[in-house]
Each structure stands twice: as structure tokens, then as C-alpha cells.
Chain A
Amino acid sequence: MQNAIELRGLKKRLGNFVLGPIDLTVPRGCIVGYIGENGAGKSTTIKLLLHLMFPDEGEIRLLGKDVQEFTPQMKKDIAYVFDDLYLPEDMTLNNVQNFHRKLYGQAWQDKTFADLVARFNLPDSKSIKHFSRGMKMQLGLALALSHGARLLLLDEATSGLDPVIRDDVLDILLDYIQNENHTVFVSSHILSDLEKVADYIAFIHKGQLLFMETKDDLMNQYGIASLSEEQLEELDDMAIVGKRPHQFGVEVMLKRELVPSDFELEKVSIEDIMVYMIKGKRK
């Protein structure tokens, strides 16, 4: 089965920042959460996937094809939502729909779009400059899901939205992924959202991909314990991913396989994994 995304030795220099080399494979039919700090390289990766930027080295394949060889017809299989709706603000919803109808031709699905617009309760006569940020994002998502794309890329699309809208978006992503040929690659800071929907988590730090693993494996690999300094010293250094000192000792994130089995560890969240790993790297 073809993979949805394949990155081989992908590298991009932007001033002092270097992204990669990144090797990443995203299988079809899953949701991948792409996480990392601000400036880690998440948006740069997505811009490279969308051919808005060009790699210095390496290869990018989407749905089995090299992005450099994408024709306009192939591009219809890729949908994207950014952190803002990059369309002229004087357009109304009807204008936007007409534009996309002309742009996507037969691939455009009027009914899907109308259903999503009704679900989001978006006004059709207001120009989009009067839309709230949430409404713009909802419109962006409705547009992305209305041309039969098989790969959906979201770049910080839900940041700054209220929990109700975010929850709605997550439901839609889960609906979308019911088709096994559909794949979602979503970069986000809101890790609790990813925890709800993602099958895989890919973690990028300072331009380097630290891991891409299934969410469940990841959360089973690590645990958190609150220890005294003495207890900490007894532990294998390799077991400690990161630590956070507090008044009574230190809270540490540990690799479960490297600590004694009777050691009591609490469950970790994705946010814990990200924070402890970054702090561990800064040590």
C-alpha cells in the first residue's frame, strides 16, 4: 500500500536554521500529530510538502508521487488549512464557493460544502473580513474537505480557537479518517487535541525529527515519578528523559523499560513528553 507522505533526507536551510535531514513515512488512513516548539520547523515542513518552499536536499513524495512532478490534477488530491484563510477579504462565502468551483472543476462537491457550511452555521452574504477567526478556520476546513482530497494537511489551524470549535474540528477529522484512503497530517501546539485524535505523533526539535511513533506506544514508553534527590541518584541516567525540580525533590519523566518494574510511574501526556524532552535536551 502506498504511503501518504514519504520524506527521504529532506533538508532545508533558512539562515541559521537548518531543517533536517528528515526521514519520515506516514502510512495512509491515519492522523499524524506533528509537534514541536515554535521555530522547530513544523510550518517549514508543511510548506515544503505544499511546494511553497523548495528543499535543498532530499525527496518529498505525497500519495506515492514526487511533489515536483505534481500536475494541477494531482494537486486536487491534497487539501490544506493554514492558521489563517489566505483569501481576499472582500469575498463572500458565495464568492469563495464560486472560486473553488471554477478552481476544482468536477472534483468540487457542492453538497459536501453546503453541509459543512450549514453545520458551522456560516453566513453566506457577509464578506469574510467580518468573519471571526473561528469562522475563517471553519470555512477553510469546509473548503479543504469539499474537493475529494485524500491527504489533508493542517498547519496550526486550530490555534487560538475556542474549545467548542476545536472539538467540532476534531469530530470532522475523525469522520474524514473513516475512509481508509484518507490521511491527516496536523501540526499543532494544542497537544490535548492531538491526544484525542492522533494515531501517530511526530516530534520535531530544532529542525530534527526526534521520533514518530504511535501515540499508544509513546505513552506506554514513558512515565512520570516524583522523587527525592537520593532516589534520583539511584536511577540509571539513561532512564531519565527530563526532570523538573520542585520544593520537595524532583519530578522526572522516565523510560519505563529502564526502571525497575516495581517502580510506580504515573501516565504521561503528549505535552509531558514534549516538555520533558525539550528540557532534557536543554540540560
Chain B
Amino acid sequence: MIALMYKDLVALKKALFLLVIVLFLVGFYTVQQGKVMALPLMFILVPLILIGMLWGSDAKSNVDQYIIPGPNKRRTIVLSRYAFVWIVAVIGAVFAVSLKLFAKDSALPELPWYLIAAAMLFLATVISVIQLPLMYKFGAEKARLIFVALYFIVFAFFSYIGGNKELIASIIDKLISLDSKIIGLAIVGVTLLLNGVSYILSVAIYAKKEF
């Protein structure tokens, strides 16, 4: 898997360099504006950008046809893709917790560190792990179209429940009354479940794919 990740890093070295510069610029801007809490949120977008770039690079070079007959299992090839998402999510969580512990920014939400870490892991992976099986099944282009449709469904869902303010208020009340450690564990649990199901689905789809 290290070889596959090395190949991906080399293939994207220029794009990654640009991405790092953009991240630094955005970071500098958020610090200057006194909105440090926005900084970790960038890690929600980074996995999505990375996956998009990797998919584009792989499709252009038709690299699956080269690596599948090589000394790799198909599931390892899929794992190498997820590994990027997970590495970025962990960096994002560590970064967010570090900010919370050391930045002493009043703009940061008053949340315990484990809740911030759990939320970052969830937010940084959730979109990618929904997108990845779709990309394996339908290819990048069709998957993006399906994803746009999903955005509309989610938007319609929130528009619908947004009208019912009493229901939302009662849910928030219940959540606030819960122990924050339980909430943190629940978020980690949901994150692990989503990632696990997504990975199993992607492996199953990729195992049957012909090139």
C-alpha cells in the first residue's frame, strides 16, 4: 500500500504543492481576521479535493490496468484511496484539538477537546465516504451528478424540518442534556460505521470491476 500511496503523492506533487500554498494563504487570512475556528474546517474540503484530483490522475493514465495485475490485492488498492481521507481527517482532528488547547481564541466554541476531535473526524470523512463508493460504481463524472442530486435531497430535507422549529428545539434540548462524552462516542461510532460500510461497499464494487 505504501507503493500505491507513493505513486499517488508523486502523481499529485504539483497539485499538492498548490493546495498547501492555498491552505497557508487561507490560514493566514483567517488568523488575521481573528477567525481561527474556521481554520480546521478547511480539512473538510481537503479530502474531497484530494479524491477528485487522484481520480482525475488515475483516469487519465488508466493506472488501474497497470496496478491490478501487479502484486496488489484489489482491496489494498481501495484501501490506499481511503487512507488519504483518513490521514487528512486525523491531521484535521489533531490540528483542531491543538488550536483548542493552545490558541486560547475566544472565538473557538466552548466544547471539550474530544468532542471537537470527534466532530472533525466525522466532518472530514463524511462526504468522501459517501462519494467514494459512488465513484467506484459509476465513475467520477456520473458520481458527481448523483452527488448533486443528493445535495438537493439533503437541502429539501433540512428545508422541511426547518419549518418545524419546535421539533428542532426539543432535539437540541435533548442533545444538550446528554453527557458530552456520550455524544463524542456516538459521533465516533457513526463515523466508524459510515467509513466501514463505505469501504466494504467500495471493495465489493471494485472486486467485480473489469478493465
Contacts and interface: CB of A to CB of B under 8 A. Distances in A.
B70 A95 contact: no
Given A88-B57, A104-B71, A53 B211 contact: yes
Contact of B210 (A53, A99, A100): A53
Among A51, A73, A87, A104, residue most surrounded by chain B Cβ atoms (within 10 Å): A87
B98 interface: no
Interface residues of B, number: 28
A263 interface: no
Given A98-B6, A102-B3, A52 B211 contact: yes
A85 B14 CA distance: 21
Interface string A56-100: 000000000000000011011010101011111111000100111
Interface string B58-89: 10111111101111110010000000000000
B72 A72 contact: yes
Contacts of A89: 60-61
Nearest to A48: B210
B72 A52 contact: no
B20 to A, nearest CB: 17
Nearest to A128: B61
A102 B211 contact: no
A98 B13 CA distance: 15
B172 interface: no
A27 B58 CA distance: 36
B2 A102 contact: yes
Given A82-B66, A90-B14, A100-B3, 16 more contacts: A51-B68, A52-B65, A52-B69, A72-B71, A75-B72, A80-B69, A86-B66, A87-B61, A88-B61, A89-B61, A90-B11, A98-B10, A99-B6, A99-B7, A103-B3, A104-B71
Interface of A: 47, 50-54, 72-73, 75-76, 78, 80, 82, 84-91, 95, 98-100, 102-104
5 contacts: A53-B211, A76-B71, A88-B7, A88-B60, A91-B11
Interface of B: 2-4, 6-7, 10-11, 13-14, 57-58, 60-66, 68-73, 76, 208, 210-211
